[in-house]
A and B are shown apart, each in its own frame.
Chain A
Amino acid sequence: KQEVTQIPAALSVPEGENLVLNCSFTDSAIYNLQWFRQDPGKGLTSLLLIQSSQREQTSGRLNASLDKSSGRSTLYIAASQPGDSATYLCAALPNAGNMLTFGGGTRLMVKP
């Protein structure tokens, strides 16, 4: 059974800082790895999707990497802004099946 873990559970940084959020998964037989953002009381917004054959994806100030062999993914946020404050969730999609397994999320606070 796939297990996804995110560390840290919460993070507070000053505005402008570059930061890294970590995601680890136990089963490397994944089809893709996805990162989402969730604002309080809201649904999830897809940020980046990395296919199993890819090493990284970039969108604006966000860069996500994937290392299947070590079961790890990182989300790098450059020049953080207060508007980046949210919970960030990673999720792994298996090769067989359509069930995304989510981590518990990292709650990010960027202070002005």
Chain B
Amino acid sequence: DTGVSQNPRHKITKRGQNVTFRCDPISEHNRLYWYRQTLGQGPEFLTYFQNEAQLEKSRLLSDRFSAERPKGSFSTLEIQRTEQGDSAMYLCASSTNSGDEKLFFGSGTQLSVL
């Protein structure tokens, strides 16, 4: 296993369209996180899964956003009716449940909403 994988790397879409991103965590990691990062800022937490259960959601995650991790392995993040303000890098991270909480990040999906 080579690390956390995110697809696509880049997505350009028109305002109002729906987009879906995929994250494949490191195989033995049962914790999975989504963050959003805009240019020049640090990442902001969106949501967290332990196995298939979504345990935390940020207020940033509006009704247009939905995340799933159906089998406790890969996860998807969908944004409906995209807005220009959704343009950002969407980062996925995973970790074990060992207690040290060290996160391993993917390379991200860069979303541009025109």
Contacts and interface: CB of A to CB of B under 8 A. Distances in A.
A105 B102 contact: no
Nearest to A99: B45
B107 A98 contact: no
B56 A44 contact: no
A31 B100 CA distance: 9
Q: Which of A41, A43, A93 has the most CB of B within 10 A?
A: A43
Contact of B105 (A41, A45, A51): A45
A25 interface: no
Interface size class of A (residues with CB under 8 A): 20 to 34
A93 B41 CA distance: 18
Contact of A99 (B56, B91, B104, B108): B56
A91 B105 CA distance: 13
Contact of A43 (B40, B45, B100, B106): B106
Interface string A38-73: 000111111001010000000000000000000000
A34 interface: yes
Interface residues of B, number: 27
A102 B89 CA distance: 15
B28 interface: no
Given A91-B42, A100-B45, A102-B42, A46 B102 contact: yes
Nearest to B100: A49
Given A45-B105, A100-B35, A105-B42, 13 more contacts: A32-B101, A34-B103, A46-B102, A89-B43, A98-B31, A98-B48, A98-B101, A99-B45, A99-B48, A100-B43, A100-B45, A104-B42, A105-B40
